């Protein structure tokens, strides 16, 4: 009995480390736009490649609760000539596919922002997938690019 418990435990640990070392998810160019002192929301961008052989689904994005109440991912859509944002519930990424979150398009949205994001800060973001392990990624804070951000503040 004890032996069996031990074996199960060991197996779990091994699988976990294996998956962590060989993550099929590669995230790069990850950053948040710097915010003004009283801002209550912030937008972040990245590109993500699925190097695995299966389609994966991004379901949840998390940040430290000291940074913001809530993180999510949004789609920018044209709605009767108006640019608006829509929360996405999940995002499928095919095997070998790279998705890009960039200004004017899809973005990570922090709401209930609790501190200013200043240039040079680093914010850790956790990506959760339906099929594979969490991926933690450092996001740098970069100066906001006012000219082409096309991003509107939320009230929620």
Residues lying near Cu ion in the complex (CB under 5 A) are found at: 74, 85, 109
Which residues share a beta bridge with 127?
Answer: 61, 135
**Which CB, 50 or 63, lies closer to Cu ion?**
63
**Cβ at position 45, least distance to Cu ion in Å:** 11
**CB-CB contact of 84 with 109 (8 Å):** no
Judged by CB, which is closer to Cu ion: 56, or 61?
61
User: Please, what is the minimum distance in Å from the beta carbon of residue 58 to Cu ion?
Assistant: 16
When the beta carbons of 24 and 110 are compared against Cu ion, the nearer one is 110
Q: CA 52, CA 54: separation in Å to the nearest integer?
A: 6
**Cβ distance to Cu ion smaller for residue 96 or 150:** 150
Distance CA 64, CA 71 (A): 9
Contact 54, 131 (CB under 8 A): yes
Question: Does residue 80 come out as left (phi exceeding 0), alpha (psi in the -120 to 50 range) or beta?
Answer: left
């Amino acid at each position: 009995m004890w032996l069996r418990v031990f074996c199960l435990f060991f197996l779990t640990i091994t699988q976990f480390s294996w998956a962590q070392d060989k993550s099929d998810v590669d995230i790069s160019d990850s950053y948040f736009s710097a915010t003004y002192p009283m801002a209550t929301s912030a937008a972040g961008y990245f590109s993500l490649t699925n190097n695995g052989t299966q389609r994966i689904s991004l379901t949840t994005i998390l940040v430290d609760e000291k940074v913001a109440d809530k993180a999510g991912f949004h789609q920018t859509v044209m709605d009767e000539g108006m640019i608006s944002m829509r929360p996405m519930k999940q995002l499928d990424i095919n095997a070998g596919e790279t998705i890009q979150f960039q200004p004017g398009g899809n973005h990570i949205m922090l709401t209930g922002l609790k501190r200013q994001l200043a240039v040079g800060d680093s914010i850790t973001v956790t990506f959760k997938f339906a099929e594979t392990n969490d991926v933690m990624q450092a996001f740098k804070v970069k100066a906001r690019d006012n000219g082409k951000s096309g991003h509107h503040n939320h009230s929620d």
